[in-house]
């Protein structure tokens, strides 16, 4: 498993640069992966000679491994979205965002051709030309839900072991999981009492499509319980971009 210490906890200023929204890239076909709900979009060109079904199969496998929303872009008015849970829908517009390239490995490798090389080079120029300024903090999925009276009653305080009520140790990975009452702006600075979900290692479903290893040490766009610091940390989805195949 690869270290992602550079972005663990999504501490301020740890993230990539804040983008502005560029026009759509026109080097079809290509695959776009949404990075949480922040503006970053990972992009990779695909073989133009592949039939539509083969391209869609790759998009499905990519989404199934990464568990990130994925879009197959076939033309200016022709896109197929595959959600993290595998739902497929067609659309007449391609996604727009701040391009990131060469970070996520595709579910299938294919030989380089003059056409692919040319479009890959065009995509690299497109990405370089559309990088924003400033830094992204978080990925927009930190909120959880507002805590009601019953939640506050159930989750307030700690057990005899000092572990917050609502968290239990997973019998399989021995890490904590469950509901956590956020009262001090954990994750996004929102001081409204919120219920956030804490995930154990077993619940880290975000895998690299190339090597099958986790994209980060913990589930993306999710919280984990740090037993040493005795607090929750949020793992923003852009931590996936730090993965390197072993
Ligand atoms: Zn577990
Ligand atoms: Zn990998």
pLDDT digits (tens, 9 = 90+) for 199-208: 999 999 999 9
Could you say which ligand is closest to the alpha carbon of residue 104?
Answer: 2
Residue 101 alpha carbon to ligand 2 centre in Å: 15
In the prediction, which pLDDT does 125 show?
97
Residue 35 alpha carbon to ligand 1 centre in Å: 24
Could you say which ligand is closest to the alpha carbon of residue 241?
Answer: 2
pLDDT digits (tens, 9 = 90+) for 169-215: 999 999 999 999 999 999 999 999 999 999 999 999 999 999 999 99
pLDDT digits (tens, 9 = 90+) for 229-238: 999 999 999 9
Q: Based on C-alpha coordinates, what's the Rg of the chain?
A: 19
In the prediction, which pLDDT does 137 show?
80
Is the Cβ–Cβ distance between 24 and 76 less than 8 Å? yes
Q: Please state which of the ranges 9-18, 32-41, 196-205 shows the lowest mean pLDDT.
A: 9-18
Where are the domains positioned within the chain? 17-129, 145-242
- Residue 8 binned pLDDT confidence (cut-offs 50, 70, 90): very low
pLDDT digits (tens, 9 = 90+) for 79-113: 999 999 999 999 999 998 999 999 999 999 999 99
Residues with Cβ within 8 Å of residue 239, at least 6 apart in sequence: 4, 7, 8, 10, 215, 216, 220
**Tokens 């872009």 belong to residue:** 73
Is the Cβ–Cβ distance between 238 and 40 less than 8 Å? yes
In the prediction, which pLDDT does 3 show?
34
């Amino acid at each position: 498993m690869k270290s992602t210490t550079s972005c663990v906890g999504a501490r301020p200023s740890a993230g990539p640069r804040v983008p502005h929204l560029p026009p759509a890239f026109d080097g079809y076909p290509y695959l776009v992966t949404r990075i949480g709900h922040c503006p970053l979009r990972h992009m990779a060109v695909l073989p133009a000679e592949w039939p539509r079904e083969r391209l869609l199969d790759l998009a499905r496998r990519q989404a199934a491994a990464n568990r990130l929303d994925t879009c197959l872009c076939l033309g200016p008015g022709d896109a197929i979205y595959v959600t993290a849970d595998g739902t497929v829908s067609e659309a007449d517009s391609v996604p727009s965002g701040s391009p990131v390239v060469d970070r996520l490995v595709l579910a299938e490798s294919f030989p380089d051709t003059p056409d692919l090389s040319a479009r890959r080079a065009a995509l690299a120029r497109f990405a370089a030309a559309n990088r924003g300024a400033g830094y992204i903090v978080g990925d927009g999925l930190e909120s959880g839900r507002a805590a009601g009276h019953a939640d506050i009653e159930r989750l307030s305080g700690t057990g005899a072991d000092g572990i917050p009520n609502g968290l239990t140790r997973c019998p399989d990975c021995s890490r904590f999981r469950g509901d956590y009452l956020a009262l001090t702006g954990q994750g996004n600075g929102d001081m409204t009492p919120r219920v956030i979900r804490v995930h154990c290692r077993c619940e880290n479903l975000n895998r690299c499509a190339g090597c099958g290893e986790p994209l980060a040490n913990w589930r993306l766009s999710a919280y984990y319980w740090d037993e040493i610091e005795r607090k929750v940390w949020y793992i923003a989805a852009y931590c996936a971009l730090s993965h390197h195949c072993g």
